[in-house]
Amino acid sequence: MAESTKTAKLDFGGKSVTLPVHSGTIGPDVIDIGALYKETKAFTFDPGFTSTASCESKITYIDGDEGVLLYRGYPIEQLAEEGDFIETCYLLLYGELPTPAQRKKFENNITYHTMVHEQMALLFRGFRRDAHPMAVMVAVVGAMSAFYHDSIDIGDPRQREIASHRMIAKLPTIAAMAYKYHIGQPFVYPQNDLSYAANFLRMCFAVPCEEYKVNPVLARAMDRIFVLHADHEQNASTSTVRLAGSSGANPFACISAGIACLWGPAHGGANEAALKMLAEIGRPENIPDFITKVKDKNSNVRLMGFGHRVYKNYDPRAKIMQKTAHEVFEQLGIDQDPLLQVAHELERVALSDDYFISRKLYPNVDFYSGIILRAMGFPVSMFTVLFAIARTVGWISQWKEMIEEPNQRIGRPRQLYTGPARREYLDMSKRG
């Protein structure tokens, strides 16, 4: 971080404190309050950290007002349309797009790490068949530290890199195994001559008794979904990974913590809620009545898949998802699917209604991703699992950046205590 030339002045308790102000490459300035408690004996109060920068990062930038998402400075639209997930992984991890030689070496490293230790298959048998796949993911990813002892020394740069490659490579395999176990089918091993997304689809949908050919349109759609979800700045799960990592925990445990956080319906489960909403609407002609209920504060009916904690404009990922939905539905011959028709009409109505425009409720990435995954054959229980596969590279890139920060310290948020003041312990006989 460059030395600051800007300052902010805070008057508190009869004392004036000068605080440094830092400027990023782009985005709002940040007031450094690191010395605030020392100078004033006061903390700041920011529930949800909506106005607090928890770290310095060079990985991802979001401008919610303008609808901008950049990975290492590259617009998400360009990466999703012109690149692929392996290239995006390299970019997030190393900061630059790979040369052809770098791309080949990196892809080989990922490809030849896709198999998991054979004993890990025994872990799955400990779960009930109806266990949620995310519960399995949390446990199995955390257990990787018990199998890969040669990549848990976070002080060794080479071990950090190996752990990063392993998680990017093995998460699709573990996710597919969780899915197969859930539906009672045998595990399918990775196939090294397939692309990252195609390999994952094969591991999910192939069976030993039949030949399986990956549909290139579906593989491209899956790859694009991975790119769009690869990172999203300091969201809840990424912050969880960083906080866990700040204690010195091994990378597998940190990613497991991120998966657990992602499982929450307010985070990774949003596309499931949007799909459920579209199904409940059922037909385009039911939309006017639905919109009326959304506007009624007493109805408890919410418009899912619109609006975002960060974006106050059209989510740039949503436009790509909309195009992808068309491609998938056309390829599968279900372009007249009622849910897609409902999605189109609901989007049209909402974007032309002053009620939603004034509240900046634009479609987000979750609005279309649920119906795409449903069309591809994934059950709702797998939606967040797919999100976890994609986000792993973002988590591990953020973790790696944090570990390599010279001034990195364990995370320790403060609090506004509102419980009882100091009290004296009373002997049992004196308590009335």
Catalytic residues: 308, 366
Pairwise CA distance, residues 405 & 13, whole Å: 35
Question: CB of 241 within 8 A of CB of 54?
Answer: no
Question: CB of 404 within 8 A of CB of 250?
Answer: no
Place of tokens 């106005």: 51
- Cα 212 to chain center, whole Å? 30
Pairwise CA distance, residues 320 & 223, whole Å: 12
Report which of 325, 314, 101 is spatially closest to residue 220, judged by C-alpha positions: 325
Sign, CA dihedral 191-195-201-204, equals: positive
Place of tokens 């990975």: 71
Question: CB of 230 within 8 A of CB of 70?
Answer: no
Pairwise CA distance, residues 214 & 198, whole Å: 6
- Cα 306 to chain center, whole Å? 17
Please give the structure tokens belonging to residue 9: 């002045």
* Dihedral, 413, 246, 23, 58 alpha carbons, nearest 10: -140
**Alpha helices, H only, 229-364:** 236-246, 251-262, 270-281, 287-295, 316-331, 338-351, 354-358
Pairwise CA distance, residues 244 & 250, whole Å: 9
Pairwise CA distance, residues 23 & 372, whole Å: 40
Report which of 67, 17, 146, 35 is spatially closest to residue 317, judged by C-alpha positions: 67
